[in-house]
Amino acid sequence: MAFQVPQGSEAQESIMPSQPAIAMETGFRAYLTEVRQKALAQGVTAATLDRVLPSISYNERVVRLDRAQPEGAADAPIPNFAPYKARHVDASRITRGRAKYTELRPLLARIEAETGVPEEMMIAIYGHETNYGTVTGNYNAPEALASLAYEGRRRALFEAELIAVLKMIDRGVPQYAITGSWAGALGKPQFLPSVYLRLARDGDGDGYADIWKSEVDAMTSIANYFVNAGWRRGEEWGFAVNVPATLDRRAIQSRMTAPRCPRVFSRHSQWKTIAEWRQLGVVPQRGFWPKDSMLATLIEPDGQGQTAYLLGGNYRVILDYNCSNFYALSVGLLADEVRN
């Protein structure tokens, strides 16, 4: 029989919804009514909306997780890269990456031949995003995105993603596919719904881009993302270098302000050819250079006197996937370790 709480008891009062919670849910339901109209205007069917929207509730946990994210204030100190690298390019991730690389090699070789995106780069993204598919998230994506949109700090972003995931459902994406991270990222590559709609690709010919269960589709989709972001076939992402103490940093400082992620790009030097970097006394730690005409920028993520990196145009493609120097550097370094 059902558990019953005595009338008027303290236990009953503790499980009754609080007035703020009731008000929040009321406001949330009113907001979903607005979303319904916007989604209808964008072609989502009423049947899908009537099935999905009444089934979700305001999720306070995802809002708390979002508020806990570092804001990255312009004047906040930037930590050294070395501790991050030690956590994300560690022996376990390298070993598992090499095993996955070997397992998927025939598939990866085909995708690289078609797209120009290196096999090891797909694996490195896979490893960083979901630890090779083992951690993809278990949040209901419509509920998470609706809660974050309703909270309001980044409503334009999350509302657009909410409508995008409703479009996915409307087009027949199954129930298991709409679970993901607390921020709505989905599947093995952790695509936001709008990215899935634009760039997910069917790699095995079954007519469905299943980035949740199919590694073929996931790797094909990652490669397609990179191609769309401008990956240059045959050009490396970057490499570690030693910088002479005599280098005049002020002379090579970039004078451009990036419209996107300005704090990330402000750490990059001016673009120079490899030949020019050689003339400035920069030395590759691996002992050899790419072609002299390749353009690269310099970053010293652990300060002067420590390992620095020359970064090519393809590094900017990794940044397009996740606009963080630490992320992009560790993806490139993991890719190198997987291949070597």
Query: Partners of 283 in the beta sheet?
Result: 242
Q: Which residues of 39-57 are buried (b: 16+ CB within 10 A; e: fewer)?
A: beeeebeeebbeebbeebe
Task: Look up residue 284 and give its amino acid.
Answer: P
Query: Partners of 140 in the beta sheet?
Result: 179
Please report the domains of the chain, with CATH numbers, ordered by start residue. Answer: 21-69+134-229 (1.10.8.350), 238-311 (no CATH)
pLDDT tens digits, residue range 205-238?
999 999 999 999 999 999 999 999 999 999 999 9
Work out whether strand 272-273 and strand 238-242 pair parallel, antiparallel, or are unpaired.
unpaired
Share of the chain above pLDDT 90, in %: 84
pLDDT tens digits, residue range 255-290?
988 888 999 999 999 999 999 999 999 999 999 999
- Torsion of Cα atoms, 272 then 273 then 274 then 277, to 10°: -40
Prediction pTM value: 0.90
The CA-CA-CA angle for residues 180, 185, 187, to 5°, reads 60
**Burial bucket for residue 127 (CB in 10 Å: 0-12, 13-18, 19+):** buried
